Amino acid sequence: MKGRDTRLESNFLLILGAVLMFAALFFAFTIKANYSGAMKTIANLRGTLLVCGAILFFFGLYKIPSTAHHRKIVYFIFLFPLLFAFFITVIIPLVLGIGYSFTDWTGIRFTKVVGVQNYLKMFHDPAFIWSVLITFVFVLLNVILINIVGFCLALLCTSKLRGVAFFRAAYFLPNLIGGIVLGYIWQFVFNNVLMSYIKFSMLSSTKTAMLAIIIVYIWQYGGYIMLIYVTGLTQIPGDVLEAASIDGASALQTLFKVKIPMIASTVTICTFLTLTSAFKQFDVNMALTNGAGSVPDFMGAYLSNGTQMLALNIYNTAIAKNNFAVAQAKAVLFFIILAVISLIQVRISNSREVEM
């Protein structure tokens, strides 16, 4: 009897929730001017109806009597908000963006399909090719340097030195500062503080400006990678390190033969994070140089955006040049490059883990 009552209650909640959600959607897609009095009041509350209907519907699912599939339903209830948000904010924009890259999209609407014309324009743009090249150089240097710096800091912060907790917090602190604020702070440092010592600004030349961006990015991101390495190093069993010491292994031998192989999965995670983050670098690049820098002759053209990396180039194409269609084509290519390289990196790192 109790199970029957629970079944009736869950069915009632499911039906009521579905009715309220349907009513909210119905009022959302109709013209409110057609309603008056109580109907107009209900139409104005369509958002409330939608939320209440969704809550009642999922609560009805939760109240369904225990069956073989009840646990799956409960899991779905908890996962649905995340999956729905991911679908709305990632999957749909990705699909629409790919479609817009083949049109003359203006950021608001498109009038015709232009095929691969946007992609051809993109590959005939010397500034874009240059931004791709310097982005790859930037990524390569940062993946290597940030992991080395982060790992060395992690070794320091897992040693028996006094004040280790202070050093961990101090090294991680730059990661809490926003990239825009960080860029302007370091712009002042390069143009005023360091300039009084080295007699020139590192931001005045394309080569030194790229070096400045790399320095700032390592300073910002090194502490974050350090914490991940600290987690990996502290999980190494103490008896393994003690056995290596008893066997006469030196500090370097223990490091390269024991510690690094045992944190191979941590190395994979850190490499993946630095790779994807460096490719998507935008805020520090924008605040520190805004892409400025002269390149006298590249593909027969003079470039005035010598430090403009790929993400900033896409942004400027859309916002500064008001060419959303070409910018979307660049973004699609950017996604493909990042996805392919990330998959290759993870596959290589996983194979190295097996070898170790």
Pair (320, 209) in one structural domain: yes
- CATH code at 142? 1.10.3720.10
Predicted local confidence at residue 38, as pLDDT: 65
Predicted local confidence at residue 42, as pLDDT: 67
Domain-located, residue 15: yes
Domain-located, residue 143: yes
Domain-located, residue 159: yes
Phi and psi for 301 in degrees, rounded to 5?
Answer: -130, 155
Residue range of the domain that includes 316: 123-355
- State the Cα angle at 114 between 94 and 310, rounded to 5°: 50
Domain-located, residue 316: yes
User: 65, 97, 114 — which closes off a domain?
Assistant: 65
Domain-located, residue 35: yes
Domain-located, residue 230: yes
Task: Count up the domains in the chain and report the number.
Answer: 2
Walking along the chain (356 residues) 10 residues at a time, the average pLDDT comes out as 66 85 77 60 75 83 69 74 85 90 88 90 92 94 94 90 86 87 89 81 88 93 94 89 86 88 90 91 91 87 90 92 92 92 83 60
Closest CA to 16 of 57, 51, 49: 57
Tokens describing residue 91: 């999957």
Whole-prediction pTM value? 0.79
Pair (30, 130) in one structural domain: no
- How far from 125 is each of 81, 322, 330, CA to CA, in Å? 42, 16, 11
Domain-located, residue 116: no
Domain-located, residue 273: yes
Pair (248, 158) in one structural domain: yes
